Amino acid sequence: MSEDPYVYPGTSVLRNRFGVRDAGELARRERDASSAEILALLDSPLPGRYDLAHLQAFHSRIFGGVYEWAGELRSVAIAKVDLFALPVHIAPYLSGVLAELPGERFLKGMPADRLTDRLAHYLAEINAVHPFREGNGRTQRALIGQLAADAGYHLAWERLTAARNIETSVAAMRGDNAPLREAIGELLCAQPPAGGRDPRAASRELPRARRLRDPREAHAGAGAQHGPA
């Protein structure tokens, strides 16, 4: 089995800008750094066309202070419950999926039920690919949340529990988007008029992120370093 270039030799710890080789310490530093960037995105949206380059820009923004490879598409195979897209398929597949958005006017003007369905579709497709070595969940939620905001809605991700995130993601990976649609429907609400983003959500996001890290991403960091887990 080939060596994973993303980790320090003989460990499962991702190479990082801090030089930290303790998994717990890296998790804490990564969590704090990424949470601060996610919070900042609520007030300073990241411009772009919701294409692959835009998704990569989100990852670079959120994780650039932690990993030198932030924003780069992964070059190794990874798996959690199921195997994600192989590296050779990441760019062509996601480019094709996200190319649908301009034809849908970036989901603007859709009724809430249709919007819910399309948000679930795009989130499920990005998640199935998992284009980055680490930080996929946070990156895709940031992009989809901003996409919803541009369409006039707020996605209250802070109300999504870790357990339900896993449940809906696994179901979508296996071809059933219904649980994900239901969850998004419960999290979607009309955008508040002032500032374009709900300040209450912003105030909750950082403390929540500090106490709860997506266990699926934690699993990837610990167990997917040589490809399928």
Instruction: Yes or no: say if 83 and 66 are a contact pair by the CB < 8 Å rule.
Output: no
pLDDT tens digits along 141-167:
999 999 999 999 999 999 999 999 999
pLDDT at 110 over 70: yes
pLDDT tens digits along 168-186:
999 999 999 999 999 999 9
Tokens representing 128 are 């199935």
At 199, is the pLDDT very low, low, confident or very high (cuts 50, 70, 90)? very low
Mean pLDDT, residues 55-65: 98
pLDDT at 200 over 70: no
Task: Note the pTM of the prediction, 2 decimals.
Answer: 0.84
Which of the two residues, 225 and 106, has the higher pLDDT score?
106
Which amino acid appears at position 7 of this protein?
Answer: V
Domains and CATH numbers, the chain: 23-223 (1.10.3290.10)
Pairing verdict, β 153-155 and 188-190:
antiparallel
At 81, is the pLDDT very low, low, confident or very high (cuts 50, 70, 90)? confident
Mean pLDDT, residues 58-86: 97
Distance CA 27, CA 24 (A): 5
- Phi then psi dihedrals of residue 228, to 5 deg: -60, 135
Torsion sign over Cα 168, 64, 51, 225 = negative
pLDDT tens digits along 115-134:
999 999 999 999 999 999 99
Nearest Cα residue to 91 out of 132, 62, 144: 132
